[in-house]
Amino acid sequence: MNYDERPILVFWETTKACLLKCKHCRAEADLYRAPDELTTTEGFKFMEELATLRPPPVLILSGGDPLMREDIWELVDKANDLGIPVGLSPAPTEKVLENKKELTKVKSVSISLDGIESHNVIRGEGNFDLVLKIIKELTWHKGFQVNTLVAKENVYELPRVLDLLLQLGVKTWEVFFLIKTGRGVEMNDLAPQEVEDVLTFLYEVSGEINIRTVEAPFIRRIALKGPVARGELYQKLVSLHPPKGSPKFRVTDTRDGKGIIFVSRNGYLFPSGFLPYPLGNIRKESFLKIYRENPVLKKIRKAEFKGKCGVCPYRDVCGGSRSRAFAYTGDPLESDPACPYIPTEKNSQVNP
């Protein structure tokens, strides 16, 4: 796939509205839709451009909560009519259950579960029980997955979350590593060795459940080379859930801005929803023109990074989190401060 020409995964933040006020919310969502959100007509036009690509990219409708848009199923129907594989990333509220029958129209649907004790602290009192109910109601969906935030506040609960997901029959677990943006600035990051420990644990349990990570692409380095070290957090995690079987992690080479792109609620393109660096606006320019020609995106796709990420032998297959680099330095091309790997002349060549 030529990622210079086209993405394979597009996220559209359809609205700012959401009934929850989660502590880590990058969108800083509230109860009401923003007046500048893309309209139904603008959404149709955007999807028609996506449909010119063959095959079209996967389109994930997110928010806020996409179920807060009155026209959400019109948008889904339009995507299906155009042959665009469409997924839904709703907030874990009663609206999911109210729309359960309509979920047959989407290829994938995700729900967030952020811990056992900590979930209600992050998402709101009583939400844990609702999420369990939603998961039990949706495991029939072939494209169903559970998303989990990981930060200092909940990291020790990951093994228990995994145990619960396996018990409930969940097949895919996508783990989001905190980016300090939006309301997430008030939460606490893991130290680099702690990130390495969590990723090593996730890699080692990938034979039990399909593992995906967000904003932690160095799990690919771990899959190819092994971890820098196994620290105290790793030992704690595997004591709570000893990995079973051989890892089955699939290494890919996409990243934010390279095969993956985000469209904000008011039409701005960002490399990621966690990287609020405007690249252009589809109200003024062609989506594909922005994706193909923006100079920052070109550098991201060529792995032209600064600091240690720029000389790392894994810079193309990994590349670090551009969102975290931006959150800490204001530069999306800087090095990811969460990675403990130190490139040297001896490890300057890698052939994934």
Report, as an integer, the average pLDDT of 280-309: 98
Q: H or E element: which one contains 255?
A: strand 255-256
CB atoms within 10 A of CB 74: 13
264 DSSP assignment: -
Tell me the one-letter amino acid at 264. S
Nearest to 64 by CA among 11, 140, 137: 11
Q: Which two tokens stand for residue 345?
A: 């002349």
* SS3 label, residue 88: strand
CA distance 179 to 149: 10
Domains and CATH numbers, the chain: 9-240 (3.20.20.70)
Q: H or E element: which one contains 12?
A: strand 9-13
Whole-model pTM: value is 0.95
Q: What is the pLDDT of residues 71-84, one digit of tens each?
A: 999 999 999 999 99
CA distance 172 to 177: 16
Give the CA distances from residue 172 to residues 117, 139, 157, 216, 245, in Å, rounded to whole numbers and listed in that order.
Answer: 22, 10, 18, 17, 17
Q: What is the pLDDT of residues 234-246, one digit of tens each?
A: 999 999 999 999 9
Per-residue HEC secondary structure of 188-251 comes to: CCCCHHHHHHHHHHHHHCCCCCEEEEECCCCHHHHHHHCCCCCCHHHHHHHHHCCCCCCCCCCC
Q: What is the pLDDT of residues 92-103, one digit of tens each?
A: 999 999 999 999
Per-residue HEC secondary structure of 279-334 comes to: CCECCCCCHHHHHHHCHHHHHHHCCCCCHHHHHCCCCCCCCCCHHHHHHHHCCCCC
Q: What is the pLDDT of residues 215-231, one digit of tens each?
A: 999 999 999 999 999 99
Q: Which two tokens stand for residue 166?
A: 């396996």
Count of residues in the chain: 352
Distance of CA 229 to the CA centre of its chain: 25
Q: Which two tokens stand for residue 316?
A: 């193309």
Output the pLDDT for position 184: 87
Output the pLDDT for position 29: 82
* SS3 label, residue 178: coil
Report, as an integer, the average pLDDT of 12-37: 90
**Is the confidence at residue 345, as pLDDT, over 70?**
no
Per-residue confidence band for 28, with pLDDT thresholds at 50, 70 and 90 = confident
